[in-house]
Amino acid sequence: MKLAIVGAGWAGLAAAVAAVDAGAEVTVYESSRVLGGRARALGAERPDGTPLTLDNGQHILIGAYTQTLALMQRLGQDLDTTLLRLPLGLPYPDGSGLQTPPWAARWPAPLDAVAAIATARGWSWRERWALVRASIGWRRRGFVCPPSLSVAQLCAGLPTRVVDELIEPLCVSALNTPGALASAQVFLTVMRDALFGPGHAGLGASNLLLPRTDLSALLPQAAARWLDHQHPGRSRLRLGARVLGLQRQPMGWQLHGLQDGTRFDAVHGRVIWATAAGPAAQAMQEAALQAHDKGSADSLATWADTAAAMAFTAITTVYAWAPGVRLAAPMLALRATPQAPAQFVFDRGQLAPTDAAAQGVLAFVVSASVGERAAVQAAVLQQAACQLGLDNLQAIQTVVEKRATFACTPGLRRPPAAIAPGLWAAGDHVDGPYPATLEGAVRSGLAAARQALAR
C-alpha cells in the first residue's frame, strides 16, 4: 500500500511509524524544515549572547499518556533520561497548594492523590473533604456528565480555595479553556485517566513528566531516525514540501505541491492529512470544489465546515533569564489574574542540569492567553517580580501560538477521522476523548493509521 501523510507533527509521525510497522510504503510531506508541528524546538539566544534551544511552547506530559509514552519507548527513548518524573502536585511559591508528600510519591493512583489532598498546605479539613467527596461522586457516576455542563457548573459546590488553587489551574492547563467555558465531560475524562488510570511502564497515572530535552528531540527526531534506520526502503520524509492541494483519481489521491520551488505531483492509494485544523479545513474545501463526484464533494465540504467552525485559543510562553536564578521546584503554580496572567513557571535549568545555557532560564506559561505579545510579556515579568521576588529577569523570547488549541467547550463538535474514501485526518483537533494535548495528537495518528490499513 502506498500511503501519504501530510504533516510531520506528532500526529503525522505517529501515523507514519504505525503504518510502516504494519508494512505500508509511506511518504511524509512536511512544509517546514523542522519536525514537530506545534510542539517543536526553537533556536534562541540569552541576553548575554549565549545560544540555547527552547521550545515553541512549554509542554508537560502525565503518566496517563500511555500511547505517547509507549511510542517514545518504541522509538528507543529512555523515559527516565528524557523525562523528569514528579509526583502529583501544584505547589505555589509560598509552599501552599496541592503536593504529594514524599512518603506517598510511589503510591498507586488514586492513593497518591488522596495523600496530596490530605496534606495540602493552607487547606481546611472541610475543603479537603469536599474535594474527596466530589471525586468519589464523579467516579460513582462513571466520570460521565451531561454534555452541556461546564467545569464551573460541575464544581459549583466546591469551596472557593479548591476551585482557585486546583480545579481552575488543572482545567486551564489541560483544556486551555477557562472553567466557566470548558467542557466538564472532557475534564472528567482527563481526571479519570490521571487519577484512576493504570499509567505506563511503572509510572503513576498522575505523575507529572517534564521534558528534559527539547520537544523536537523528544519524539519527532526520534521518529525520523527510527523510520530511516528500521525501514529505509518503505519510508520517505520530504521536508520543505508544501502540499497545495489534492484530488481524487481512479488509483487514489493525487497530491500536488512545491518542494524548494519545484512543482511535484504524486498519486498515493490513501492519504492521512495531519496538519493543523485551519490548513486542513482550507485544503478539504478546495478539494471539494475540484471533486468530480458529488459524494466526495459533499464529504470533503462537510468535514471542512466542521473543522472551520471550531474556535481556537492562544498559549503564550514567556522565556526569561537572570544569572543564578533557581526556583524552589522545577515547576511552580502561580496565582493568575488578568494583570498577572501566567499560571505556571518552569525552571529550565533544573530540567536540564547539564546544559549550561539553560541555567537561569525560566518559562512562564499563559494558557488561554489574550492580549498583545508585548503587553503579556510585560505583565508576566511584573508578576515574576511580585510573586517570585525576581525583579532582575530579562526577557529572552515570547512565543505566542494564537491557534494553539481548540476551545474545549461543552458539546463541541469535532471533525471525524474519516474524511472521504481513502482519506483520513489526524491531529489533536480530530474527534476523540482528549483535549488538544500531545496524547490526543498521538492517539489520533495511531488511530488514522489503523483505519487506513484496515481498509
DSSP run (H or E) holding 83: strand 83-86
All three cell numbers of 252: 487514489
pTM score above 0.85: yes
Same domain, 392 and 306: no
Are 10 and 118 within one domain?
no
Residues 132 and 161 in one domain: yes
- Could you give the CA distance from residue 88 to residue 328 in angstroms, rounded to a whole number? 16
Q: pLDDT tens string for the chain (455 positions)?
A: 889 999 999 999 999 999 999 999 999 999 999 999 999 999 999 999 999 999 999 999 999 999 999 999 999 999 999 999 999 899 999 988 889 998 988 887 788 888 998 998 889 999 999 999 999 999 999 999 999 999 999 999 999 999 998 999 999 989 999 999 999 999 999 999 988 888 887 788 889 999 999 999 999 999 999 999 988 889 999 999 999 999 998 888 999 999 988 999 998 989 999 999 999 999 999 999 998 889 899 999 999 999 999 999 999 999 999 999 999 999 999 999 999 999 999 999 999 999 999 999 999 999 999 999 999 999 999 999 999 999 999 999 999 999 999 999 999 999 999 999 999 999 999 999 999 999 999 999 999 999 999 86
Please report, for the chain, how many H helices and E strands are present, in that order: 16, 19
Residues 341, 306 share a domain: no
Q: Are residues 283 and 431 in the same domain?
A: yes
**What's the pLDDT score for residue 43?**
95
Does 60 share its domain with 93?
A: no
Q: In this structure, how many other beta carbons lie within 10 angstroms of the beta carbon of residue 403?
A: 17
Q: Looking at 147, 170, 204, which one is the last position of a domain?
A: 204
Do 316 and 297 sit in the same domain of this protein?
Answer: no
Choosing from 204, 231, 261, the residue where a domain stops is 204
Q: What is the CATH number of the domain that holds 280?
A: 3.50.50.60
Distance CA 132, CA 36 (A): 39
Grid coordinates standing for 165?
488553587
19 and 62 inside one domain: no
> Is-contact 421 301, C-beta < 8 A?
no
d(CA 280, CA 299): 14
Through-space distance between the first and last CA atoms of the chain, rounded to whole angstroms: 11
365 and 427 inside one domain? no
Cα–Cα distance measured from residue 229 to residue 84, given in angstroms and rounded to the nearest whole number: 27
C-alpha cell, 280: 486542513
381 and 420 assigned to the same domain: no
Among 204, 234, 268, identify where a domain stops.
204
Nearest alpha-carbon partner for 173 in 48, 323, 59: 59
Domain CATH number, residue 53: 3.90.660.10
Query: Residues 192, 124: one domain?
Result: yes
Same domain as 414, residue 390: no
**Rounded distance, CA 113 to CA 195, Å?**
7
Q: What share of the chain is helix, strand, coil (3-state, %, to 5)?
A: 35, 25, 35
If one counts the domains in the chain, the total is 3
Give the pLDDT of residue 233.
86
Contact between 321 and 46 (Cβ < 8 Å): yes
- Residue 174: give the domain boundaries: 88-204
Secondary structure E strands in 342-448: 344-347, 361-369, 394-406, 418-420, 423-425
